[in-house]
Protein backbone atom coordinates (compact mmCIF):
# COMPACT_ATOMS: atom_id res chain seq x y z
CA UNK A 1 0.00 0.00 0.00
CA UNK A 2 1.40 3.37 -0.93
CA UNK A 3 1.63 6.29 1.48
CA UNK A 4 -1.25 8.25 -0.03
CA UNK A 5 -3.71 5.38 0.32
CA UNK A 6 -2.54 4.71 3.86
CA UNK A 7 -3.21 8.33 4.77
CA UNK A 8 -6.68 8.09 3.22
CA UNK A 9 -7.49 5.01 5.33
CA UNK A 10 -6.26 6.67 8.53
CA UNK A 11 -8.30 9.79 7.77
CA UNK A 12 -11.45 7.70 7.13
CA UNK A 13 -11.01 5.90 10.45
CA UNK A 14 -10.65 9.20 12.32
CA UNK A 15 -7.02 8.65 13.33
CA UNK A 16 -4.89 11.78 13.66
CA UNK A 17 -1.96 11.63 11.30
CA UNK A 18 1.56 12.86 12.07
CA UNK A 19 4.26 13.27 9.45
CA UNK A 20 7.75 14.34 10.62
CA UNK A 21 9.14 17.20 8.54
CA UNK A 22 12.70 17.54 9.82
CA UNK A 23 15.08 16.09 12.41
CA UNK A 24 15.79 18.14 15.50
CA UNK A 25 19.37 18.94 16.30
CA UNK A 26 20.83 16.45 18.76
CA UNK A 27 17.92 14.02 18.41
CA UNK A 28 18.59 10.28 18.28
CA UNK A 29 18.42 8.62 14.90
CA UNK A 30 15.18 6.85 14.09
CA UNK A 31 15.24 3.07 13.85
CA UNK A 32 12.90 0.89 11.87
CA UNK A 33 10.60 -1.22 14.03
CA UNK A 34 10.83 -4.93 13.46
CA UNK A 35 7.41 -6.46 12.91
CA UNK A 36 6.62 -9.57 14.99
CA UNK A 37 5.58 -11.51 11.88
CA UNK A 38 9.04 -11.04 10.41
CA UNK A 39 10.38 -13.64 12.86
CA UNK A 40 8.04 -16.29 11.55
CA UNK A 41 8.80 -18.48 8.60
CA UNK A 42 5.70 -17.45 6.67
CA UNK A 43 6.11 -13.74 7.40
CA UNK A 44 6.74 -12.67 3.76
CA UNK A 45 3.74 -14.61 2.53
CA UNK A 46 1.53 -13.20 5.25
CA UNK A 47 2.67 -9.66 4.62
CA UNK A 48 2.08 -10.13 0.89
CA UNK A 49 -1.41 -11.55 1.51
CA UNK A 50 -2.35 -8.65 3.80
CA UNK A 51 -1.10 -6.13 1.26
CA UNK A 52 -3.12 -7.77 -1.50
CA UNK A 53 -6.25 -7.76 0.63
CA UNK A 54 -5.82 -4.08 1.52
CA UNK A 55 -5.20 -3.20 -2.11
CA UNK A 56 -8.35 -5.06 -3.08
CA UNK A 57 -10.52 -2.86 -0.89
CA UNK A 58 -12.37 -0.11 -2.73
CA UNK A 59 -10.84 3.33 -3.08
CA UNK A 60 -13.83 4.99 -1.41
CA UNK A 61 -15.63 4.48 1.89
CA UNK A 62 -18.81 3.39 0.10
CA UNK A 63 -17.22 0.10 -0.81
CA UNK A 64 -16.23 -0.52 2.79
CA UNK A 65 -19.75 0.31 3.99
CA UNK A 66 -21.22 -2.05 1.40
CA UNK A 67 -18.97 -4.81 2.64
CA UNK A 68 -20.07 -4.23 6.23
CA UNK A 69 -23.72 -4.33 5.19
CA UNK A 70 -23.11 -7.61 3.43
CA UNK A 71 -21.48 -9.10 6.49
CA UNK A 72 -24.38 -7.93 8.64
CA UNK A 73 -26.84 -9.61 6.30
CA UNK A 74 -24.81 -12.80 6.47
CA UNK A 75 -24.85 -12.66 10.26
CA UNK A 76 -28.64 -12.28 10.25
CA UNK A 77 -29.36 -15.30 8.05
CA UNK A 78 -30.92 -18.41 9.70
CA UNK A 79 -28.64 -20.42 11.95
CA UNK A 80 -29.61 -23.65 10.16
CA UNK A 81 -28.08 -22.46 6.85
CA UNK A 82 -24.89 -21.33 8.57
CA UNK A 83 -24.44 -24.66 10.33
CA UNK A 84 -25.02 -26.54 7.07
CA UNK A 85 -22.04 -24.73 5.54
CA UNK A 86 -19.82 -25.04 8.63
CA UNK A 87 -16.89 -27.52 8.50
CA UNK A 88 -17.31 -30.89 10.16
CA UNK A 89 -16.62 -30.80 13.87
CA UNK A 90 -17.35 -27.06 14.16
CA UNK A 91 -21.14 -27.31 14.10
CA UNK A 92 -22.57 -25.73 17.26
CA UNK A 93 -26.04 -25.28 18.66
CA UNK A 94 -28.23 -22.57 17.13
CA UNK A 95 -27.25 -19.22 18.51
CA UNK A 96 -29.81 -17.26 20.44
CA UNK A 97 -29.85 -13.52 20.12
CA UNK A 98 -29.37 -11.92 23.52
CA UNK A 99 -29.87 -8.20 24.00
CA UNK A 100 -26.78 -6.58 25.42
CA UNK A 101 -26.81 -3.48 27.58
CA UNK A 102 -24.34 -0.76 26.81
CA UNK A 103 -21.92 0.40 29.49
CA UNK A 104 -23.58 3.81 29.73
CA UNK A 105 -27.04 2.35 30.36
CA UNK A 106 -25.63 0.02 33.01
CA UNK A 107 -23.90 2.88 34.84
CA UNK A 108 -27.06 4.99 34.61
CA UNK A 109 -29.18 2.23 36.14
CA UNK A 110 -26.69 1.75 38.99
CA UNK A 111 -26.66 5.50 39.75
CA UNK A 112 -30.46 5.60 39.67
CA UNK A 113 -30.64 2.74 42.18
CA UNK A 114 -28.15 4.46 44.48
CA UNK A 115 -30.07 7.73 44.34
CA UNK A 116 -33.33 5.93 45.11
CA UNK A 117 -31.80 4.22 48.14
CA UNK A 118 -30.03 7.34 49.42
CA UNK A 119 -32.32 9.57 51.49
CA UNK A 120 -30.91 13.01 52.19
CA UNK A 121 -32.21 14.36 55.48
CA UNK A 122 -32.24 18.16 55.83
CA UNK A 123 -30.11 19.31 58.73
CA UNK A 124 -31.59 21.42 61.54
CA UNK A 125 -30.00 24.34 63.33
CA UNK A 126 -31.82 26.45 65.92
CA UNK A 127 -31.63 28.10 69.33
CA UNK A 128 -34.63 28.01 71.69
CA UNK A 129 -35.47 29.73 74.96
CA UNK A 130 -38.02 28.21 77.33
CA UNK A 131 -39.88 29.81 80.26
CA UNK A 132 -42.05 27.93 82.71
CA UNK A 133 -44.18 30.99 83.51
CA UNK A 134 -46.50 29.25 85.98
CA UNK A 135 -47.99 25.82 86.61
CA UNK A 136 -50.22 25.87 83.51
CA UNK A 137 -48.13 27.83 80.98
CA UNK A 138 -44.92 27.11 79.04
CA UNK A 139 -43.42 29.58 76.56
CA UNK A 140 -40.91 28.60 73.83
CA UNK A 141 -39.29 31.23 71.60
CA UNK A 142 -37.03 30.85 68.54
CA UNK A 143 -33.93 33.01 68.82
CA UNK A 144 -31.19 33.84 66.35
CA UNK A 145 -27.67 33.76 67.80
CA UNK A 146 -26.22 37.25 68.04
CA UNK A 147 -29.60 38.98 67.70
CA UNK A 148 -29.63 41.68 70.40
CA UNK A 149 -33.35 42.47 70.76
CA UNK A 150 -35.34 43.14 73.97
CA UNK A 151 -37.44 40.02 73.55
CA UNK A 152 -37.64 39.39 77.32
CA UNK A 153 -39.25 42.79 77.85
CA UNK A 154 -41.73 42.15 75.03
CA UNK A 155 -42.70 38.76 76.48
CA UNK A 156 -43.13 40.31 79.92
CA UNK A 157 -45.51 42.93 78.52
CA UNK A 158 -47.48 40.31 76.54
CA UNK A 159 -47.94 38.05 79.55
CA UNK A 160 -48.91 40.93 81.80
CA UNK A 161 -51.50 42.10 79.29
CA UNK A 162 -52.97 38.59 79.22
CA UNK A 163 -52.94 38.32 83.01
CA UNK A 164 -50.54 35.38 82.93
CA UNK A 165 -47.57 36.93 84.76
CA UNK A 166 -48.34 37.60 88.40
CA UNK A 167 -44.68 38.16 89.17
CA UNK A 168 -41.48 38.74 87.20
CA UNK A 169 -40.47 36.59 84.27
CA UNK A 170 -38.60 33.47 85.44
CA UNK A 171 -35.15 32.57 84.21
CA UNK A 172 -35.11 31.02 80.73
CA UNK A 173 -33.75 27.58 79.85
CA UNK A 174 -31.82 27.34 76.60
CA UNK A 175 -31.74 24.60 73.98
CA UNK A 176 -29.33 24.59 71.06
CA UNK A 177 -29.19 22.26 68.08
CA UNK A 178 -26.84 20.75 67.09
CA UNK A 179 -25.75 20.21 70.67
CA UNK A 180 -22.19 21.17 71.57
CA UNK A 181 -21.34 17.78 73.10
CA UNK A 182 -23.24 15.79 70.46
CA UNK A 183 -20.88 13.14 69.08
CA UNK A 184 -23.38 11.79 66.53
CA UNK A 185 -23.46 12.97 62.95
CA UNK A 186 -27.26 12.94 62.68
CA UNK A 187 -28.26 16.60 62.70
CA UNK A 188 -31.60 16.10 60.96
CA UNK A 189 -34.92 17.54 62.07
CA UNK A 190 -36.03 14.09 63.19
CA UNK A 191 -33.15 13.84 65.67
CA UNK A 192 -33.72 17.45 66.78
CA UNK A 193 -37.41 16.83 67.44
CA UNK A 194 -36.61 13.72 69.47
CA UNK A 195 -34.18 15.71 71.60
CA UNK A 196 -36.61 18.60 72.27
CA UNK A 197 -39.56 16.34 72.97
CA UNK A 198 -37.51 14.18 75.33
CA UNK A 199 -36.41 17.33 77.14
CA UNK A 200 -40.00 18.56 77.50
CA UNK A 201 -41.28 15.16 78.60
CA UNK A 202 -38.80 15.22 81.47
CA UNK A 203 -40.16 18.63 82.52
CA UNK A 204 -43.86 18.06 81.90
CA UNK A 205 -44.39 14.39 82.74
CA UNK A 206 -44.77 14.95 86.47
CA UNK A 207 -45.88 18.59 86.22
CA UNK A 208 -47.99 19.04 83.04
CA UNK A 209 -49.24 22.33 81.61
CA UNK A 210 -52.46 23.38 79.89
CA UNK A 211 -51.01 25.84 77.36
CA UNK A 212 -47.80 26.12 75.34
CA UNK A 213 -47.03 29.36 73.53
CA UNK A 214 -44.74 28.69 70.56
CA UNK A 215 -43.04 31.71 69.01
CA UNK A 216 -41.29 31.14 65.67
CA UNK A 217 -40.92 28.40 63.06
CA UNK A 218 -38.13 26.53 64.86
CA UNK A 219 -40.09 26.29 68.13
CA UNK A 220 -43.22 25.13 66.31
CA UNK A 221 -41.48 22.44 64.31
CA UNK A 222 -39.27 21.21 67.15
CA UNK A 223 -42.04 20.93 69.74
CA UNK A 224 -44.96 19.72 67.64
CA UNK A 225 -42.85 17.37 65.48
CA UNK A 226 -43.70 15.99 62.07
CA UNK A 227 -44.08 18.55 59.30
CA UNK A 228 -45.78 21.14 61.52
CA UNK A 229 -44.67 24.54 60.40
CA UNK A 230 -45.93 28.07 60.62
CA UNK A 231 -47.91 29.20 57.55
CA UNK A 232 -45.97 31.10 54.92
CA UNK A 233 -47.75 34.38 55.68
CA UNK A 234 -46.23 35.61 58.99
CA UNK A 235 -49.44 37.47 59.86
CA UNK A 236 -51.25 34.15 60.31
CA UNK A 237 -51.34 32.54 63.72
CA UNK A 238 -52.94 29.19 64.44
CA UNK A 239 -53.88 26.88 67.26
CA UNK A 240 -53.64 23.11 67.42
CA UNK A 241 -53.56 20.50 70.18
CA UNK A 242 -50.19 19.14 71.28
CA UNK A 243 -51.16 15.49 71.70
CA UNK A 244 -47.72 14.45 72.92
CA UNK A 245 -48.08 16.67 76.01
CA UNK A 246 -51.89 16.60 76.42
CA UNK A 247 -52.19 20.38 76.14
CA UNK A 248 -53.03 23.16 73.70
CA UNK A 249 -50.35 24.78 71.53
CA UNK A 250 -50.67 28.34 70.18
CA UNK A 251 -48.29 29.11 67.30
CA UNK A 252 -47.16 32.64 66.46
CA UNK A 253 -44.21 34.48 64.88
CA UNK A 254 -41.08 34.72 66.99
CA UNK A 255 -40.63 37.56 69.47
CA UNK A 256 -37.83 38.96 67.33
CA UNK A 257 -40.09 39.04 64.26
CA UNK A 258 -42.79 40.82 66.25
CA UNK A 259 -40.31 43.50 67.31
CA UNK A 260 -39.09 43.97 63.74
CA UNK A 261 -42.63 43.96 62.30
CA UNK A 262 -45.03 45.70 64.72
CA UNK A 263 -48.03 44.89 62.50
CA UNK A 264 -47.74 41.28 63.71
CA UNK A 265 -48.95 42.29 67.16
CA UNK A 266 -52.61 42.41 66.06
CA UNK A 267 -52.98 38.71 64.98
CA UNK A 268 -50.86 37.64 67.98
CA UNK A 269 -53.17 39.51 70.35
CA UNK A 270 -56.28 37.91 68.82
CA UNK A 271 -54.76 34.45 69.25
CA UNK A 272 -53.87 35.19 72.88
CA UNK A 273 -57.44 36.27 73.53
CA UNK A 274 -58.51 32.87 72.19
CA UNK A 275 -56.04 31.13 74.51
CA UNK A 276 -57.05 33.16 77.60
CA UNK A 277 -60.64 34.28 77.01
CA UNK A 278 -61.27 35.26 80.64
CA UNK A 279 -58.81 38.15 80.37
CA UNK A 280 -59.90 41.57 79.03
pLDDT by 10s per residue, the chain, length 280 = 677 787 778 878 878 766 666 778 888 877 777 766 644 455 555 555 545 545 555 454 445 445 544 555 545 555 555 545 545 444 445 554 555 556 667 767 776 766 655 555 567 888 999 999 999 999 999 988 777 889 999 999 999 999 998 888 999 999 988 876 665 677 788 888 899 999 999 889 889 999 999 999 999 999 998 665 444 444 579 988 988 899 999 999 999 999 999 999 999 999 999 999 875 5
Q: How far apart are CA 175 and CA 171, in angstroms?
A: 13
Residue 85 three-state SS: helix
Q: How far apart are CA 259 and CA 149, in angstroms?
A: 8
| Cβ 268 vs Cβ 231: under 8 Å | no
Q: Is the pTM of this model over 0.75?
A: no
- Which residues of the chain form beta strands (DSSP E)? 126-134, 137-143, 173-177, 211-215, 238-242, 247-252
Q: How far apart are CA 7 and CA 2, in angstroms?
A: 9
Q: How far apart are CA 113 and CA 121, in angstroms?
A: 18
Could you give the C-alpha distances from 92 to 73, 74, 80, 115, 150, in angstroms and in order?
A: 20, 17, 10, 44, 90
- Residue 253: name the closest of 241, 239, 265, 240 by CA: 265
Question: What are the extents of the domains in the chain?
Answer: 1-17+37-61, 126-275
How many Cα neighbours within 13 Å face the side chain of 226? 7
| Cβ 215 vs Cβ 254: under 8 Å | yes
Could you give the C-alpha distances from 62 to 3, 67, 74, 255, in angstroms and in order?
A: 21, 9, 18, 80
Q: Which residues make beta-bridge pairs with 128? A: 142, 175
Amino acid sequence: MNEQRRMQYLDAMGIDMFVPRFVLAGAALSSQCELPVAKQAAAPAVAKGVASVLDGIGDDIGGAIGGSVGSTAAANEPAQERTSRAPLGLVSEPEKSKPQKSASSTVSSILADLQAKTVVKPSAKFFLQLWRVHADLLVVDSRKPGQALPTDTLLTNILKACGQLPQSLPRAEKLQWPMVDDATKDHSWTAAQEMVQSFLEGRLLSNPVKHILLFGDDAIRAVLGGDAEQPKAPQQCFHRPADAFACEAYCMPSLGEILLQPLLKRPVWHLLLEAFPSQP
